[in-house]
Amino acid sequence: MNLFVDAWRWLTTGSNWTGDGGAATRLVEHLLVSGLVVGIAAVIAVPLGVLVGHTGRGRTAVVLAASAARAVPTLGLLTLVALATGIGLTGPVVALVVLAVPSLLAGAYAGVESVDRVTIDAARAVGMTEAQVVRRVELPLAAPLLVGGLRSATLQVVATSTLAAYTADVGLGRLLFAGLKAREYDVMLASALLVVALALVLEGVLALVQRLVTPRTSARAGNARPISTVPEQSPTERTS
Amino acid sequence: MKWLSQNYPQVIELFLTHLALSVPAVVASFLIAVPLGWSAQHGRGLRGPVLVGVGLLYAIPSLPLFIIVPVLIGTPLRSSATMIVVLTVYGVAVLVRSAADAFASVPATTLDAAAAVGHTRWSSFWRVELPLAGPVLLAGVRVITVSTVSLVSVGAVIGIQSLGTLFTDGFQRGIRFEVVTGIVLIVALAVLLDGLVVLAGRLLMPWTRGSVGRARAKRVRDDAPVLAEPQLASAGKHEEAPR
């Protein structure tokens, strides 16, 4: 327990935050890398997921690919790409994108797929083109599940970005590895707590976003239950 | 290939170590998560707090946890005990939610009927509720089996031996084949254990196996209408839900 006191002392010492390798720089780096990775993954996964959800084609292939990607250990991919491309950001970014894609993909296609067929037929009946159906009907209704996918992807990426420091000089993981090498356990614990805090803050923010994009009617429809690690359901939704 | 022929005894040992870390964690997660999930579903007002709690557990990154757990419970930093505890934390975080959903999928009227024919709460749990929740629960166990096997490798960066050691060692020594071997074996182990979980599910829940074929056979034999099993048919969908 003493170690927690030491870690707290490290965290509250101003000089540990400033400078080139200070905690503030590492925190910003960590956020930038995570943001870059989630951005790239979203550009790949969201259009693909929406397409699969809209057309209903290629669903099996996407599910298989996503579950295969889940079994691939991030550290292995990270070191493999780093061996091929050298020390730097490429390794972590590639490995983390592979980590983030399945959640985003699943959120996108499950969201679009969960939209009531009757609603879509109605949109077509009033003369909407396919593009309008996707943009004005399917995407807004899919939003809670889409953000749910974004939320679990972000959570995993922020947590795993710690590993980026294994092959690149970035992020909060840098402090952790430096502490490990020098046997400075207070520094390790302090950086560990920083990552935890960052993950929890982002989780809270995205949970709020998810609540904001949930259409009020979907609570009654019951088919747009947000996929998330933290529940939004009220106890009244219990089925027994 | 030359690397493998020279190092296969070590690779086999790491494979077994990896297995010995993964299996206890999955079993422990199951034993902890099922009662928790059950109480989350049945305890008045417990569902919210329990599920928020495990959600927050899940939000904690694994690498920091390898450092926090030893400080909290006093296990040595580089030990299999630390690893199994960390893996169990994640397993529980994911599985409690599946378990709560699984028990929620059992209709209340079924439980009432069980009570009406004289089941006590205890025997109703074992003979009615658990079997009916089984398929959804199985889907959850499959998810944590795969993620646990993958997660074990992270411990290698702080020095806990596993197939992940092939990554750190291969990276330091620049042997690409060693890293590839690690990835292939981890995916293979995940697939193998997942297959065993599915097999165990079929043995323990024979009614979920080949329901179409057997239903047809039954119809031919009895010439009677076949009852649908919507509860069981819908269970498989949970596997694809993102974590």
Chain B 57-116, CB below 8 Å of chain A: which residues? 58-65, 67-68, 71, 93, 97, 104-108, 111
Contact B243 A79 (CB under 8 A): no
Give the chain A residue whose CA is nearest to the CA of B64. A192
Q: In this complex, is the C-beta atom of A131 within 8 Å of any C-beta atom belonging to chain B?
A: no
Q: What CA–CA distances, in Å, run from B202 to A135, B105, B209?
A: 43, 19, 6
Q: What is the pLDDT of residues B80-123, one digit of tens each?
A: 888 899 999 988 988 888 888 888 888 888 888 888 888 888 88
CB-facing half-sphere around the CA of A197: CA atoms within 13 A: 9
Q: Cβ–Cβ of A196/B60 closer than 8 Å?
A: yes
Confidence band for A188, pLDDT divided at 50, 70 and 90: confident
Please tell me the predicted confidence (pLDDT) of residue A25: 81
Distances A116 to A53, A59, B157 between C-alpha atoms, Å: 12, 18, 47
Q: Scanning every residue of chain A, which has its alpha carbon at the shortest distance from the alpha carbon of B194?
A: A71
Chain A within 8 Å of B186 (Cβ-Cβ)?
Answer: yes
pLDDT at A226 over 80: no
Q: How far B139 CA lies from chain A's nearest CA (Å)?
A: 13
Please, what is the average pLDDT of chain A? 79
CB within 8 Å: A230 and B67: no
B34 and A CB contact within 8 Å:
no
- How would residue A77 be classed by pLDDT, with cut points 50, 70 and 90? confident
The pLDDT confidence band at residue B17, using thresholds 50, 70 and 90, is very high
Looking at the complex, does the CB of residue B125 fall below 8 Å from at least one CB of chain A? no
Mean pLDDT of A125-153: 84
Rounded to a whole number, what is the distance in Å from the CA of A231 to chain B's nearest CA? 6
pLDDT for the residue B186: 92
Average pLDDT in chain B? 80
Are B242 and A152 inside 8 Å of each other by CB? yes
Distance, in Å, from the CA atom of B120 to the CA atom of B111, rounded to the nearest integer, reads 10
Q: B182–A77: do the CB atoms touch at under 8 Å? A: no
Q: Is pLDDT above 90 for A104? A: no
Please give the single-letter amino acid code of residue A21: G
Which is nearest to A106 in space by CA: A66, A155, A70, A56?
Answer: A66
Place of tokens 């694809």: B240
Interfacial A residues in 76-105 facing B (CB < 8 Å): 76-80, 82-84, 102-103
Name chain B contacts of A66, Cβ cutoff 8 Å: 240
Is the CB of residue B197 less than 8 Å away from at least one CB of chain A?
A: no
Cα of B8 to nearest chain A Cα, Å: 18
Model pLDDT, residue B211: 53
Q: A172, A132 in Cβ contact below 8 A?
A: no
pLDDT at A1: 60
CATH architecture of A23-215: Orthogonal Bundle (1.10)
| Candidates B41, B67, B153, B166, partner chain A, best to mutate (most A CBs within 10 A) | B67
CA B35 to chain centre: 15
Cβ distance A79 to B150 less than 8 Å, yes or no, reads no
Chain B nearest CA to A122, separation (Å)? 27
**Quick check: B233 contacting A, CB < 8 Å?**
no
Q: How confident is the model at residue B14 (pLDDT cuts 50, 70, 90)?
A: very high
pLDDT at A217: 58
- Average pLDDT over every residue of A125-150: 84
Residue type, B127: R
| A218 pLDDT more than 60 | no
Is B18's pLDDT higher than 50?
A: yes
Please tell me which residue of chain B has the smallest CA distance to A91: B171
Tell me how far apart the alpha carbons of residues A214 and A127 are, in angstroms, rounded to a whole number.
Answer: 26
Mean predicted confidence (pLDDT) in B211-233? 43
Nearest Cα of chain B lies from the Cα of A31 at a distance, in angstroms, of 14
Does the beta carbon of A166 lie under 8 angstroms from any beta carbon of chain B?
Answer: yes
pLDDT at A159: 83
In Å, what is the CA distance from B119 to each residue of A239, B97, B151?
21, 27, 41
The per-residue pLDDT for A115 is: 83
For B224-233, the CB contacts below 8 A with 24+ separation are B231/B105, B231/B107, B231/B132, B232/B135, B232/B207, B232/B208
DSSP chain A: -HHHHHHHHHHT-GGGTSSTTSHHHHHHHHHHHHHHHHHHHHHHHHHHHHHHHHH--SHHHHHHHHHHHHHS-HHHHHHHHHHHH-SSSHHHHHHHHHHHHHHHHHHHHHHHHTS-HHHHHHHHHTT--HHHIIIIIIHHHHHHHHHHHHHHHHHHHHHHGGGGGGTSS-STHHHHHHHHHHT-HHHHHHHHHHHHHHHHHHHHHHHHHHHHHS-TTHHHH-S-----SS----GGG---
* CB-CB neighbours of B116 under 10 Å: 9
- Assess whether pLDDT exceeds 60 at residue B213: no
Instruction: Provide, as residue numbers in chain B, all residues whose Cβ is less than 8 Å from the Cβ of A234.
Output: 48
What is residue A200's predicted lDDT score, i.e. its pLDDT? Answer: 84
Q: In this predicted structure, what is the pLDDT of residue B210?
A: 59
